[in-house]
Amino acid sequence: MDPGSYQMLLIDLTERRVETLPLARELFEKYLGGVGLGARLLLDYCHPGADPLSPQNPLVFVASPMAATLVPAGSKHALVTKSPLTGMIGDSLTGSFWSAALRLAGYQALVVTGAAETLTYLFIDDGRVYFKPASHLEGLGCWETEEAIRRDLRDSRVRIAAIGPAGEKLVRYAGVFNDGTRRAGRGGVGAVMGSKKLKAIALRGTQPVRVADMAGMERECFNLYKVAQDAPTEKYRVLGTPANILTLNRLGALPTRNFQQTTFSGAEAISGERLYESHLVKVTACSGCPIACEHIYHAGSGPPKPIRTRMDYETLFALGSLCGVDQASWIIRAAGLCDQHGMDSISTGGAIAWAMECFEKKFLGLEDTDGLELTFGNGPAMVEMVEKIAHRQGLGDLLAEGTRLASQKLGGGSDHWAIHAKGLELPGYEPRSLKTMALGFAVGTRGGCHNRSPSYEVDMSARVDRLKAEAGRGAMNRDQEDFAAVLDSLVICKFMRKCFSDFYADAARLYAASTGIELSPEDLRLAGERICHAKKAFNIREGWERNMDWLPGRTLNEAIPDGPAKGVRLTADELTLMIEDYYQARGWTPQGLIPREKLEEVGLGDLWLGPLDTSADRSTGRSTDRTPDRGGFLAPDSTDKPSVKSPDRTTDVGRFPAPGAREKTPGSSTPDGVGHAT
Amino acid sequence: MGWGMQRSFVDCDPEVCTGCQLCELACAGVKEGCFDLELSRIHLVRPDPTVMMSVTCRLCENAPCVAACPRLALSTHPENGTIVPDKVLCTGCGWCIEACDFGAIAMDRRTKTVVICDLCAELPNGPRCVEICPKKALDLTTAEGVAQRQRNRAVRLLASM
């Protein structure tokens, strides 16, 4: 693959049709790769209003344009789709050998549309694509699937991204797992893959990846490798992210017992320090990463075989303090099962913690839990629930819907303690004692997320009083989101972020050395802003409402009862103030819609199709009725695709090729005058 | 170099290796000018999430690959002991690949000849993989160097019991 010459593979599972399309250089200038390019391809290929679990919802894989090169921690890829958990954009990152293999196979992106009739896996062997039956893989765990496919194909270097039983059963927070320990966890990308009856994508990439400036790349990267062995990455290298447990506990920001408390009596017992002493097996790295943050732990002896799993802070908090479990061995066991079955451990922990509170409040009884004493702190019951969710057995079937839907189904006010934003369970940062983070959770395009809106960093810095909600946080959250969008699109792992002396300038040089595309630091920053707008534009198209930028009832109605932040509140007025401040900082309307001029300013004028119906009570932000026929403001017609150039030639790469022009264009629907606010 | 006449080779300590593959990428980069991992002279092998090590030519004292070549295309470099393929004599038959116990030899699909680690003899800083290894899991060492590492590790372990 020559730098600057990129192609994507469009795979229609329904028709078993495969097409290679060139990706214009302009896309890499505007959206970089990863999440940014993925968001653009989603806008182009998703049928407006598609049910996330229908064939009309594409599953988009986009590699970093710097994967399979020397760029440190740059071998990553994004999965982008319409999330079955949130109904909004679901963009999830993972990394390592699969990302590199995608580029080595000659592709920058895969867009998977339609759905297979029976369970299938794809084998992409450089330029050839095979649709393989996968009935023998049904019900297999993620790692078992990888091993089975490598045996099938008799190649130990084939790289595989797979779903587990949870993805097959459409658990709304199932992930897509690759290379043994890496996960595109959040937002239910695995359920989308399961709905397409696609068990796995296996890659054999043996083509050379070329870069524009090898000498320049070596120079830049060798320096970064040195810095990456130093203080900026010490936390990740030594204890890994589990070091956060004691830090957040000290700050009164460690979500405990379903966000009822902010400190955990068992924090010491489940701390990264303790795990390191008694459970560590090995510290490993992703492909191309000089840091090596991945800490793999064992759960001790136990049937059926010793469980070993990678553990990060988020998993540790979600299956630990959030469920009140203070025994590391049960947490590691539950995390191992999440990996095996292919589920997001944050949402799994969030759903179980919600059910535990329901059980303690007598909303659920022993007859609902099949006799399980589902109380906070009951490790064995938690592990049992993980199994039940993955297989949608008993109460697990309800919890597999995610806390938002589950609480709606259970009713009785249980949504008060369903701790999610836009349906995505909150990660391990207490919003009441981290006010900028609270704003980030509320407005995040993929829901409550610390990665897309990493504003906890603002709160933990000396720049602000983290307990105070005030104007000014909007701009700070905006900057954090733009910065994250650039990292997530280049893609460079966030753990490298402190290794750069001047991030936008350094990253622009790396990008130029890899791709030959020269961007100024300001171009790169603007790309981050553009990408955030593209994601928001998708959400508006798919029915985003002002009241979706909000936080759960507990957060806004209860004061923190314990710890150093005792008595601290976050009121609805304070949250509204910060949200409006954010909209203003973004250049949006007070209702959170994007004006046409703003879209044009960030280079997304083509997304405009007309004003949104802002009549009635939309402006109050509490509207529930929606215009039923909101089509896309994008809506490409069948002859002119807005960003993917029509192919010069149709490359016949399918096993069951259907040469000739493609009649159907994904995302083709009639534009019907819907767009952003005037 | 060191230890008298012993040959130096690139050795990977599996206890330190994190499986990052940077050695493989760097080797392809310096030898081929692009990231053609099939032509890398060192390969990361990671059969399980907790088992990983990079493998390259050990510069065997009685090299089976040299003995296996029916056309006498492989020879041992008189100074540094690296295995040198003769690009004219080599027919790409692959017997040397079969003879190598470590899978250290790769076939170049374009030239139909084999490629083997040459210790980056032309580079002032020695093998690029050793230079790049962020964890210092790779070392340009000798049989005695490896033996010392193992002995020291065993003694430390025994002493702590």
Tens of pLDDT, residues A485-516? 999 999 999 999 999 999 999 999 999 999 99
Task: Supply the pLDDT for residue A13.
Answer: 98
Give the chain A residue whose CA is nearest to the CA of B34. A210
The residue with tokens 């079969």 is: B98
Task: Supply the pLDDT for residue B6.
Answer: 81
Q: How confident is the model at residue A29 (pLDDT cuts 50, 70, 90)?
A: very high
Tens of pLDDT, residues A149-163? 999 999 999 999 999
Residues of B in contact with A217 (CB under 8 A): 29
Which of A156, A208, A282 is facing B36, going by the closest CB pair?
A: A208
Residues of A in contact with B33 (CB under 8 A): 214
Which of A97, A209, A283 is facing B18, going by the closest CB pair?
A: A283
The total number of structural domains in chain A stands at: 1
User: Does the residue B48 lie in any domain?
Assistant: yes
Rg of chain B, C-alpha, whole Å? 16
**Contact of A65 with A33, CB cutoff 8 Å:** yes
Tens of pLDDT, residues A520-539? 999 999 999 999 999 999 99
**Poorest-pLDDT segment among A86-90, A173-177, A297-301, B38-42:** A297-301
Strand partners, A470: none
User: Does the residue A296 lie in any domain?
Assistant: yes
Q: How confident is the model at residue A307 (pLDDT cuts 50, 70, 90)?
A: confident
User: Does the residue B30 lie in any domain?
Assistant: yes
A292–B29 CB contact, under 8 Å: no
Q: How far is B14 from chain A (nearest CA, A)?
A: 11
Q: Is the pLDDT of residue A573 over 90?
A: yes
Q: How confident is the model at residue A306 (pLDDT cuts 50, 70, 90)?
A: low
B49–A225 CB contact, under 8 Å: no
Q: How far is A214 from chain B (nearest CA, A)?
A: 7
| Spatial distance between the Cα atoms of A259 and A429, rounded to a whole number of angstroms | 9
**Bond preceding residue B47 cis, omega within 30 of 0:** no
Say what percent of chain A tops pLDDT 90.
Answer: 87
| Spatial distance between the Cα atoms of A632 and A574, rounded to a whole number of angstroms | 33
Q: Is the pLDDT of residue A193 over 80?
A: yes
C-alpha distances out from residue A216 to A2, A221, A637, Å:
17, 8, 43
Retrieve residue A136's tokens: 């023998």
CATH number at residue B13: 3.30.70.20
| Spatial distance between the Cα atoms of A595 and A587, rounded to a whole number of angstroms | 8
Give the chain B residue whose CA is nearest to the CA of A180. B49
Task: Supply the pLDDT for residue B4.
Answer: 57
Query: Helix crossing, A214-227 with A503-515: angle to 10°?
Result: 140
Per DSSP, the residues of A589-657 read -TTSPPPHHHHHHTT-GGG--------GGGGGT------TT---SS---SS--SSSPPPSS----BSS-
Q: State the DSSP H helix or E strand holding residue B56, giving kind and residue range, or none if neither.
A: none
| Spatial distance between the Cα atoms of A469 and A461, rounded to a whole number of angstroms | 15
The residue with tokens 């002032």 is: B124
Residue A99 contacts B, CB cutoff 8 Å? no
Residue A287 contacts B, CB cutoff 8 Å? yes
**Contact of A133 with A32, CB cutoff 8 Å:** no
Q: What is the mean pLDDT of residues A212-239?
A: 95
User: Does the residue B105 lie in any domain?
Assistant: no
| Spatial distance between the Cα atoms of A570 and A442, rounded to a whole number of angstroms | 12
B18–A308 CB contact, under 8 Å: no
Residue A211 contacts B, CB cutoff 8 Å? yes
CB pairs under 8 A between A and B: 80
Among B37, B53, B54, B138, most A C-beta atoms within 10 A, so best to mutate, is: B37
**Domain containing A378: what range?**
237-416
Q: What is the mean pLDDT of residues A91-112?
A: 97
End-to-end CA, chain A? 43
The residue with tokens 């806390």 is: A403
Residues of B in contact with A290 (CB under 8 A): 20, 22, 134
**List of residues 6+ apart from A188 with CB closer than 8 A:** A52, A83, A84, A85, A90, A171, A172, A173, A174, A175, A344, A402
C-alpha distances out from residue A301 to A306, A339, A437, B137, Å:
5, 18, 39, 30
**Poorest-pLDDT segment among A27-41, A259-273, A291-305, B117-131:** A291-305
How far is C-alpha B72 from the chain's CA centre?
A: 21
Q: How confident is the model at residue A634 (pLDDT cuts 50, 70, 90)?
A: very low
B34–A70 CB contact, under 8 Å: no
- Phi, psi (5° rounding) for residue B32? -115, -10
Q: How far is B135 from chain A (nearest CA, A)?
A: 8
Q: What is the mean pLDDT of residues A626-642?
A: 34
Give the chain B residue whose CA is nearest to the CA of A2. B34
Q: What is the mean pLDDT of residues A98-102?
A: 97
Say what percent of chain B tops pLDDT 70.
Answer: 97
Q: Are strands A120-125 and A176-178 parallel, antiparallel or unpaired?
A: unpaired
A208–B32 CB contact, under 8 Å: yes
Tens of pLDDT, residues B59-116? 999 999 999 999 999 999 999 999 999 999 999 999 999 999 999 999 999 999 999 9
Residue A590 contacts B, CB cutoff 8 Å? no
Retrieve residue A230's tokens: 């130093």
**Bond preceding residue B84 cis, omega within 30 of 0:** no
Residue A424 contacts B, CB cutoff 8 Å? no
3-state SS record for A135-185: HHHCCCCHHHHHHHHHHHHCCCCCEEEECCHHHHCCCCCECEEECCCEEEC
B49–A308 CB contact, under 8 Å: yes
Which of B28, B34, B50 is facing A282, going by the closest CB pair?
A: B50
C-alpha distances out from residue A151 to A145, A147, A154, A202, A371, Å:
10, 6, 5, 12, 41
Residue A93 contacts B, CB cutoff 8 Å? no
| Spatial distance between the Cα atoms of A255 and A611, rounded to a whole number of angstroms | 41
The residue with tokens 């030239």 is: B111
CATH number at residue A255: 1.10.569.10
Per DSSP, the residues of A214-273 read HHHHHHHHHHHHHHTTSGGGHHHHHT-GGGHHHHHHHHT---BTTTTBSS-TTTTTTSHH
**Contact of A328 with A115, CB cutoff 8 Å:** no
Which of B22, B33, B52 is facing A288, going by the closest CB pair?
A: B22
**Contact of A206 with A192, CB cutoff 8 Å:** no
Q: Tell me the HSE value of B68 on the side-chain side, using a 13 A CA sphere.
A: 16
User: Does the residue B85 lie in any domain?
Assistant: no
A180–B38 CB contact, under 8 Å: no
Q: Are strands A109-113 and A6-12 parallel, antiparallel or unpaired?
A: parallel
The contact set of B with A (CB < 8 A) is 18-22, 25-26, 28-29, 32-38, 47-50, 52, 131-132, 134-135
- Phi, psi (5° rounding) for residue A30? -90, -35
Residue A222 contacts B, CB cutoff 8 Å? yes
Q: What is the mean pLDDT of residues A382-407?
A: 98
More confident residue, A674 or A375: A375
* Amino acid letter, A182: R
**Contact of A447 with A423, CB cutoff 8 Å:** yes
Retrieve residue A439's tokens: 């704003």
Strand partners, A19: A10
Residues of A in contact with B48 (CB under 8 A): 180
In the predicted model, what is the mean pLDDT of chain A? 90
Among A1, A70, A230, most B C-beta atoms within 10 A, so best to mutate, is: A70
Which of A211, A281, A292 is facing B20, going by the closest CB pair?
A: A292
Q: How confident is the model at residue A68 (pLDDT cuts 50, 70, 90)?
A: very high
User: Does the residue B77 lie in any domain?
Assistant: no
CA-CA-CA-CA torsion sign (B118, B123, B129, B135): positive
Among A281, A284, A495, most B C-beta atoms within 10 A, so best to mutate, is: A284
Q: Is the pLDDT of residue A465 over 60?
A: yes
Q: How far is B78 from chain A (nearest CA, A)?
A: 32
Q: How confident is the model at residue A651 (pLDDT cuts 50, 70, 90)?
A: very low
B20–A286 CB contact, under 8 Å: yes
**Contact of A34 with A78, CB cutoff 8 Å:** yes
User: Does the residue A71 lie in any domain?
Assistant: no
The total number of structural domains in chain B stands at: 1
In three-state secondary structure terms, A282 is strand
Q: What is the mean pLDDT of residues B34-48?
A: 96
Q: Which of A89, A97, A109, A40 is CA-nearest to residue A192? A: A89
* Amino acid letter, A166: A
In three-state secondary structure terms, A561 is coil
User: Does the residue A295 lie in any domain?
Assistant: yes
Give the chain B residue whose CA is nearest to the CA of A101. B37
Q: Is the pLDDT of residue A141 over 70?
A: yes
Q: How far is A461 from chain B (nearest CA, A)?
A: 30
Residue A178 contacts B, CB cutoff 8 Å? no
Task: Supply the pLDDT for residue A615.
Answer: 44
Query: Helix crossing, A503-515 with A473-490: angle to 10°?
Result: 20
Task: Supply the pLDDT for residue B3.
Answer: 54
Residue A404 contacts B, CB cutoff 8 Å? no
Residues of A in contact with B21 (CB under 8 A): 97, 100, 287-288
A69–B35 CB contact, under 8 Å: yes
- Please give the DSSP secondary-structure letter assigned to residue A209: B
Q: How confident is the model at residue B161 (pLDDT cuts 50, 70, 90)?
A: confident
User: Does the residue A318 lie in any domain?
Assistant: yes
A208–B48 CB contact, under 8 Å: no
